[in-house]
Amino acid sequence: MRGSLWQLGQSIIRRLSEADKKAVARRYFASEADLKKTVLYDFHVAHGGKMVPFAGWSMPIQYKDSIMDSTVNCRENGGMFDVSHMCGLSLKGKDSVSFLEKLVIADVAGLAPGTGTLTVFTNEKGGAIDDSVITKVKDDHIYLVVNAGCRDKDLAHIEEHMKAFKAKGGDVSWHIHDERSLLALQGPLAAPVLQHLTKDDLSKLYFGEFRILDINGATCFLTRTGYTGEDGFEISVPSENALDLAKAILEKSEGKVRLTGLGARDSLRLEAGLCLYGNDMEQHISPVEAGLTWAIGKRRRAEGGFLGAEVILKQLAEGPSIRRVGFTSTGPPPRSHSEIQDEKGNNIGEITSGGFSPCLKKNIAMGYVKSGLHKAGTKAKILVRGKAYDGVVTKMPFVPTKYYKPS
C-alpha cells in the first residue's frame, strides 16, 4: 500500500464522513463486507478504535487518544498492538533450513536454536519481495512472519519453490498459522507487565530470541522483537485465547499500557528508522540499497546461493548506486514521493516515508538518494506541494533504540 499510514489516518479521520469512509473502502480496497476481521475486532470497536481498511483487513488506525499521544505513551509506558493481520507460518523438515536459504539473505544455518533475525526474501534481480522476521525454533523447524499486504505473493513464491525443492527429494513442509492471532507488546512496561502472566523468567530472554511458553494459560510463541525501537515482544497466541490475553495485559498494566493503532505504529517505526514494505522497500530495491547489508550473513556473502545473489554481491563489492537515508527538514512534513534535490535544484532522489515525529517534535523522513550524497550532514531541498524546503541527511534511528540485550 502506497503512502504512510499516518497520512491515511489523518485524512480519514479529519476529512471523511462515515459514508465517505465506505466509498473509499469500496473504491481502493474492498467492500466492508469483504474486509477480514481479527478476533479482536469487537474489542477494538468497544475501546473506541477507529477502523480503516488495510491490506484487506479492517484494522484500528487509532483509539480515543490522538496518534501523537499514543506514540509518546508507547515510548514512556507501553502500547499493545493487534497485528493478527500479519501471516505467521512454520517450515518443518530436516531440509527446511537449506530450503529457506535459497529464498532469503540470512545465514539461517548459523542461527542458534531459539534465535532469529530480520531478513529479506529476494527475487532474481536482487530486489526485495518482502522483509520478514525469521526464527530457528529447532534445526528442523523455522517460524516466520510475513507482511499482510505481501501474504498472497509471498505464499505463492514460497510454494512454487517448495514444490521444485521437494520434487528433487528435499524434506520440507509448511503450516500457515491461521489458527493463531498475533499481539505486539512494546515499550518499557512490556516486560514487567508480561512477567505477571507467565512463570518463565523473561529477564533471560534477549532481543531476537524465541520461546514457546505458557502465557495467561495459553501456549504461545514469544519473540522478543518489535517494530517500534523499544523493548518488547510479539506474542503468537491461539485465537480462542487472544481476547483474554489482551484484556489481561491491559489489566496488569493498570491502564499504563494502551491499545495502540496503526497510525502510532507507523510513527514509531519511522522514528526507529525501520522500513515499511511498499514504501521504503520494494521489488526493485535491493537489501544493500535499503541499508540492510548487516542482514546478509557473512557466509552468504562468501557463498551466495540465494535468488539475486549475483546482483547483491556485486553491489556489496562495488557499492550501490542509490542508498536509503534519513532526513530532518523544515516546513510541512515530507511525504512519500516528495522529490529530493541538491542545493542547485538537481533531482537526487525521492522521499519514501515522512511525517512529524511525535517524540522529537520535528519533521523526519527517509528516502533514497544517489550514492555520494548519502553522508550525514549533507544539505538538500525537499519539495512539498511544489515548494522547496531545507532538509539535511540525518543518521537513523532518529530515536535511540532500547532493545533488551545482554550487558
In a domain, 104, yes or no: yes
In terms of domains, do 83 and 209 share one? yes
Burial class from Cβ neighbours inside 10 Å (0-12, 13-18, 19+) for residue 60 reads: buried
Burial class from Cβ neighbours inside 10 Å (0-12, 13-18, 19+) for residue 221 reads: buried
In terms of domains, do 314 and 348 share one? no
Q: How many domains does the chain have?
A: 2
In angstroms, rounded to a whole number, what is the distance separating the alpha carbons of residues 394 and 389?
15
In angstroms, rounded to a whole number, what is the distance separating the alpha carbons of residues 39 and 31?
19
Tell me what the mean pLDDT of segment 189-201 comes to: 98
The residue segments making up the domain with residue 150 are 65-319
- pLDDT for 2 equals 40
In terms of domains, do 247 and 328 share one? no
User: Average model confidence (pLDDT) for the chain?
Assistant: 94
In a domain, 44, yes or no: no
Q: Please provide residue 401's backbone torsions phi and psi, each rounded to the nearest 5 degrees.
A: -75, 155
In a domain, 77, yes or no: yes
Burial class from Cβ neighbours inside 10 Å (0-12, 13-18, 19+) for residue 21 reads: middle
Weakest-pLDDT range from 3-7, 103-107, 253-257, 272-276: 3-7
Burial class from Cβ neighbours inside 10 Å (0-12, 13-18, 19+) for residue 37 reads: middle
Give CA separation, 390 vs 115, 176, 343, in Å.
43, 47, 9
Whether residue 301 has pLDDT greater than 70: yes
Q: Tell me the pLDDT tens digit for each residue of 238-295.
A: 999 999 999 999 999 999 999 999 999 999 999 999 999 999 999 999 999 999 999 9
In terms of domains, do 114 and 231 share one? yes
- For the chain, give the percent of residues with pLDDT over 70: 92
In terms of domains, do 329 and 293 share one? no
In angstroms, rounded to a whole number, what is the distance separating the alpha carbons of residues 227 and 274?
7
In terms of domains, do 193 and 286 share one? yes
Residue 32 pLDDT grade (very low, low, confident, very high; cuts 50, 70, 90): confident
pTM of the model: 0.92
In angstroms, rounded to a whole number, what is the distance separating the alpha carbons of residues 135 and 208?
8
In angstroms, rounded to a whole number, what is the distance separating the alpha carbons of residues 103 and 101?
5
Burial class from Cβ neighbours inside 10 Å (0-12, 13-18, 19+) for residue 393 reads: buried
In angstroms, rounded to a whole number, what is the distance separating the alpha carbons of residues 323 and 302?
22
H-state helical runs in 105-238? 151-167, 190-195
Whether residue 204 has pLDDT greater than 60: yes
Q: Please provide residue 32's backbone torsions phi and psi, each rounded to the nearest 5 degrees.
A: -60, -35
Q: Please provide residue 397's backbone torsions phi and psi, each rounded to the nearest 5 degrees.
A: -70, 155
In terms of domains, do 182 and 231 share one? yes
Cell 537489501 -> residue = 287
Last residue of some domain: 302, 319, 336?
319
User: Annotation-wise, does 160 bind a ligand?
Assistant: no
Last residue of some domain: 319, 351, 367?
319
In terms of domains, do 344 and 296 share one? no
- What does the chain come to in residues? 407
In terms of domains, do 344 and 236 share one? no
In angstroms, rounded to a whole number, what is the distance separating the alpha carbons of residues 388 and 153?
38
In terms of domains, do 332 and 312 share one? no
Q: What is the CATH number of the domain that holds 391?
A: 2.40.30.110
In a domain, 349, yes or no: yes
In angstroms, rounded to a whole number, what is the distance separating the alpha carbons of residues 237 and 74?
22
In angstroms, rounded to a whole number, what is the distance separating the alpha carbons of residues 231 and 224?
8
